[in-house]
Every structure is written in C-alpha cells, then in structure tokens.
Amino acid sequence: AQRVTQPEKLLSVFKGAPVELKCNYSYSGSPELFWYVQYSRQRLQLLLRHISRESIKGFTADLNKGETSFHLKKPFAQEEDSAMYYCALSGQGAGGSYIPTFGRGTSLIVHP
C-alpha cells in the first residue's frame, strides 16, 4: 500500500523567512513524487514533480530515498506563496494504472 504523510497541518512564517514543508512516503517500489498547490479560489495545480528536477516559483524538492522524504523548500517566502500544499505519490494500482495518492495537505501562511 502506498501512503503519503504531511505531518504539519499549518505552517506560519514571515515574509523572507525560509520555508520547508515536510512530506514522507511509504511505497514498496520506485515512486514518482509531486507537489500540488491550491491558491485561494483556484483549482489544484501541479507545482513541481521529482522527475523533472526543476525549480518552480523558487521552490525545490529533493527526493531522499533513504529517509523516504520529498520535502518542499523555498529560501525566502513571499506572501503570494500562501496556499494549501499537497504532496502526492504516483504508485501502481489496479489495472496497471499509476494512481496518485495525496497527503492531508499543509496550509502555508506567509505574513507580511
């Protein structure tokens, strides 16, 4: 069974402070990991994925297979980063499809 754990429901920081949103996963194979973001009154959308190894809006995430983690980081938080962040894992499910499993989400609030 695959599982994604986001231990923090809420993370509150001041503008300019570093941010780290934690994500741990459980999966027996080689997973593909993502971060999705939901800004206020907008639909959930992809922020970044492990396979692309890219930085989006200043955010990065490194897959640590030893610690089974995929933490999301940004060196200097901006007010517009305030949103709900979901970590997701794509693992093989029924019918051979890769099924996305999501964590419970972390609400990031960046204060001015």
49 lines the binding site for other proteins (CB under 8 A): yes
28 lines the binding site for other proteins (CB under 8 A): no
**Site residue total, other proteins (CB under 8 A):** 28
Nearer CB in complex with other proteins: 68/107: 107
What residues contact 61, with CB distance under 8 A and at least 6 apart?
A: 23, 33, 35, 48, 50, 70, 71, 72, 73
Nearer CB in complex with other proteins: 75/93: 93
28-54 exposure pattern, b = at least 16 Cβ within 10 A, e = fewer: eeebbbbbbbbeeeeeeeebbbbeeee
Strand 24-26 vs strand 3-5: parallel, antiparallel, or unpaired? antiparallel
In the set 17, 18, 20, 45, which binds other proteins (CB under 8 A)?
A: 45
Write down the least CB distance from residue 108 to other proteins, Å: 15
In the complex, which residues of this chain contact other proteins (CB under 8 A)?
6, 9, 32, 34, 36, 43-46, 49, 51, 86, 88, 90, 92-105
